[in-house]
Amino acid sequence: MASKPVYRTVFDIPREEYFAPGHGLCAGCAAGVIMKILTKVAGPNTIIVNATGCVEVATTMFPYTSWKVPWLHVAFENAAAAASGVEAAIKVLKRKGVIDPNKRINVVVVAGDGGTYDIGFQALSGMLERGHNVMYVLYDNEAYMNTGIQRSGGTPKYAWTTTTPVGKVWKGEWRPKKPIADIVAAHRIPYVATASPSHVIDMMNKFRKGLDIEGPTFIHVLQPCTTGWRFDPRYGITIARLAVLTGMWILWEMEHGEFRVTVPVPKRKPVREYLKLQGRFRHLSEEQIEEIQRMVDEEVERINKLVGRTVIGPVEE
Amino acid sequence: MVKWKRLPLNSNYAVAYAVKDADVDVIAAYPITPQTTIVEKIAEFLANGEFDAEMIHVESEHSALSALVGASAAGARVFTATASQGLELMHEILHIASGSRLPIVMAIATRALSAPISIWCDYSDLMNTRDASWITFINSSAQEVYDTLIMAYKIAEDPRVLLPVMSAHDGYIMSHTVEPVDVAEDPEDIRRFIPKRRDRINILDPDRPVSIGTIVRPEWFYEVKYQQVVAMREARKVIKEAQEEFASRFGRRHDVIETHMMDDAELAILTYGGIYGTAREAVDMMRAKGMKVGSVKLRLWRPFPADELRKALSNVQAVAVVDRAISYGTPIAGPVALEVISLFYDEKDAPKVISFVAGIGQRTVTEYDFVGIAEKSLKYLSSGSIPKETIYWGVRGVEV
């Protein structure tokens, strides 16, 4: 049985702030919203282990830091390994009486798509397989945004990036996005979920579960990037919402092997609505848009089959 | 009085006993020859409840050191061991561990680097870590291995230092060779020498939040790195203090260098690690024939014991430095030889430094090799022509 949600309305959002303003994230960057909400849910007894990436560089420009909780950055590919060490240390120090054994300390990884899909994948798999009590939060902006919009394993098909440019021969990224959450779920960890900053309460409940459930947990959050996706900063959350409403980004969770869609979409919008707001898809032909629509339709069908009924409905213009 | 039990241990097992006696909290390691038996022995201790620690069975050496950065930042006493390719894979995190000022301790069973692959001993792996800001010891006996590892925690965790420590011994030549080692009857005696402390600022504690590993702009970066220069300088003093306290508590004295028959020596043979004993034997053989040769052992590689070496070598006419690593593409290819040359650069009446490379990929180095090296060096000295390039001793097809 899936556990009950803790947060029901915006009034349930904790008032305390553990992620200070004044950081250097781009105007309209959804990562800031995700970190703010994440730390509100996790609270003060939390240690953040941050992979190299936008959030790391933008929130800790010495001598300033946005983090009111202990925060560690080691390198790009090893956030999961470093978090394994933090968790193991807390465990043994509790056993030896150095840390109060009754004090619950959350260990949370924050990493981008490059640090998760690609360079950090081995360390992530190791951490999951060993069963460390760590929540891994992937903020996925679908390319190496920190170094200036290079494609990653998380870049969706046909997206323009600086290493999959649109030219006479190349027409943007030609490979589909790697299904990282499914691959993580294949490790048989107790909790995997997808989330979107447009559905804050849903995202908060997933963070809550990720923290409360013993063992490794993984929350995959879609993070619209104004700079890399090429949209007006005001549309970040709108685009995140359209990703959900078009079925491009399905909000689900898998708790102890039980799969469910947490935000059903009875009437889907066409993917065109999502794509047209973003400069990275500006070059798409009608055929390419239709191909993306077909890919989404197939994924929706797969998800509906998995659930056993239609939770994501057909496209309605 | 501290009671000791004498056990037949190879240097790898001596490391494992030291880790147990130091009450290490977190161990993360990945198997690699010839280090593997260190962590196997530690696992055996843990499996039998002989001490309490978390062992993280990481999926690579890169993750081993990364996990220790996390564990040390969370306030635990930590340990890992590696060699060769494993040390190379860790290289990125070597710099992060020292830059984050974390008192991590690592044992190295030294081994040659690929390609071609060799599982046998030389010091190419260790010498590649030269600029990583780790305090680096090179041991010559299994007893030294046990004692150094214990002192390593004392030194690394000292608030004046807070730098990681590497403690190396020869792969196979020491890692798999059994010697008598005195280990503490009661580990508490060791633990009283290295009490654990939680007074450093870089601990991830929710009651006292800090950000570790932040991005630092050009306005500050240089000053942060300069603190590592200062810490290395301080370490020289702290190492001496640790050795003194160790000697007075436990009755065994170690120093950053060791000399043998140097009082009236005209030629010194300087080397490090497991072949130092062989060099000493060779000196005794040569003394019996009336040759005025002495030997110097380098036990501490970083911080480089410049004052001690300058003093030890002040009266010799020449020093033959025998390295077991090659810095390719430079006339003087021995890493330690380069440092020794720099010690005396521009000094009047300085000893001549002759650089030898030997023992690459565990090519055997015997007493007779050291005798040959000494004879060759004395010949250079009497002819007045000191070679400006490293001599590759023992390589087939090359006339020396």
Q: State the smallest CA–CA distance between residue A44 and chain B in angstroms.
A: 6
Q: For A11-31, how does the pLDDT look when each residue is reduced to its tens digit (9 = 90+)?
A: 999 999 999 999 999 999 999
A2 located within any domain: no
Of B2, B164, B143, the closest CA to residue B71 belongs to B164
Q: What distance in Å separates the CA atoms of residue B362 and residue B121, rounded to the nearest whole number?
A: 5
pLDDT for res B1: 80
Query: How many other CB atoms sit within 10 Å of the CB of residue A56?
Result: 24
Residues B195 and B294 in one domain: no
Host domain of residue A98: 10-307
Residues B128 and B220 in one domain: yes
The closest CB to that of B67, out of A45, A81, A93, belongs to A81
Of B115, B172, B152, B218, the closest CA to residue B19 belongs to B152
A291 located within any domain: yes
A312 located within any domain: no
Listed residues B216, B250, B284: the one ending a domain = B250
For A130, the closest chain B residue by CA position comes to B57
Residues B29 and B77 in one domain: yes
Contact B70 A45 (CB under 8 A): no
- Please spell the DSSP secondary structure of B328-347, one letter per residue: TTSSS--HHHHHHHHHHTT-
Q: For A52-98, how does the pLDDT look when each residue is reduced to its tens digit (9 = 90+)?
A: 999 999 999 999 999 999 999 999 999 999 999 999 999 999 999 99
A43 located within any domain: yes
| CB A221, CB A138: distance < 8 Å | yes
A26 located within any domain: yes
What's the complex ipTM? 0.97
- Give me the residue label for tokens 């390295």: B323
Q: Which of B52, B59, B79, B200 to mutate to test the interface with A (most CBs of A within 10 A)?
A: B59
Contact A71 B198 (CB under 8 A): no
B204 located within any domain: yes
Chain B positions touching A89 (Cβ under 8 A) are 25-26, 54, 70-72, 74-76, 78
Helix (H) or strand (E) holding B391: strand B391-392
B397 located within any domain: no
pLDDT for res B399: 83
The closest CB to that of B60, out of A88, A89, A122, belongs to A122
B399 located within any domain: no
Listed residues B250, B280, B310: the one ending a domain = B250
User: The domain spanning residue B336 has which CATH number?
Assistant: 3.40.50.920
Give yes or no for residue A1 having a pLDDT over 70: no
| CB B122, CB B34: distance < 8 Å | no
Q: What distance in Å separates the CA atoms of residue A162 and residue A230, rounded to the nearest whole number?
A: 12
pLDDT for res B360: 98
Residues B148 and B187 in one domain: yes
Chain B positions touching A80 (Cβ under 8 A) are 63
B398 located within any domain: no
User: The domain spanning residue A204 has which CATH number?
Assistant: 3.40.50.970
Q: State the smallest CA–CA distance between residue A189 and chain B in angstroms.
A: 17
Helix (H) or strand (E) holding B55: strand B54-56
Residues B131 and B17 in one domain: yes
**How many separate domains does chain A show?**
1
Chain B positions touching A83 (Cβ under 8 A) are 70
Residues B72 and B184 in one domain: yes
- Pairing state between β B135-138 and B105-110: unpaired
Of B12, B5, B65, B67, the closest CA to residue B40 belongs to B12
Contact A67 B96 (CB under 8 A): no
Chain A positions touching B63 (Cβ under 8 A) are 78, 80-81, 84, 122-123, 126
User: The domain spanning residue B89 has which CATH number?
Assistant: 3.40.50.970
For B213, the closest chain A residue by CA position comes to A73
pLDDT for res A5: 86
Q: State the smallest CA–CA distance between residue B59 and chain A in angstroms.
A: 6
A313 located within any domain: no
Residues B168 and B230 in one domain: yes
B340 located within any domain: yes
Facing residues of B323 across strands? Answer: B357
**How many separate domains does chain B show?**
2
pLDDT tens-digit profile, chain B (400 residues): 899 999 999 999 999 999 999 999 999 999 999 999 999 999 999 999 999 999 999 999 999 999 999 999 999 999 999 999 999 999 999 999 999 999 999 999 999 999 999 999 999 999 999 999 999 999 999 999 999 999 999 999 999 999 999 999 999 999 999 999 999 999 999 999 999 999 999 999 999 999 999 999 999 999 999 999 999 999 999 999 999 999 999 999 999 999 999 999 999 999 999 999 999 999 999 999 999 999 999 999 999 999 999 999 999 999 999 999 999 999 999 999 999 999 998 888 899 999 999 999 999 999 999 999 999 999 999 999 999 999 999 999 998 8
Give yes or no for residue A2 having a pLDDT over 90: no
Chain B positions touching A39 (Cβ under 8 A) are none
Listed residues B250, B280, B305: the one ending a domain = B250
Q: For A245-286, how does the pLDDT look when each residue is reduced to its tens digit (9 = 90+)?
A: 999 999 999 999 999 999 999 999 999 999 999 999 999 999
Chain A positions touching B73 (Cβ under 8 A) are 72, 82, 85-86
A271 located within any domain: yes
Contact B52 A86 (CB under 8 A): no
Residues B234 and B329 in one domain: no
- Angle between helix axes B61-73 and A79-95 (nearest 10 degrees) is 50
Chain A positions touching B62 (Cβ under 8 A) are 77-78, 81, 123
Q: State the smallest CA–CA distance between residue A91 and chain B in angstroms.
A: 8
Q: What distance in Å separates the CA atoms of residue B48 and residue B217, rounded to the nearest whole number?
A: 49
Host domain of residue B165: 4-250
For B55, the closest chain A residue by CA position comes to A88
Chain A positions touching B66 (Cβ under 8 A) are 74-75, 78, 81-82, 85, 123
Using alpha carbons, list the distances in angstroms from residue B268 to B282, B366, B375. Answer: 12, 17, 12
Burial tier of A145 (Cβ tally within 10 Å: 0-12, 13-18, 19+): buried
Contact A72 B213 (CB under 8 A): yes
Confidence category of residue A317, pLDDT binned at 50, 70, 90: confident
For B221, the closest chain A residue by CA position comes to A62
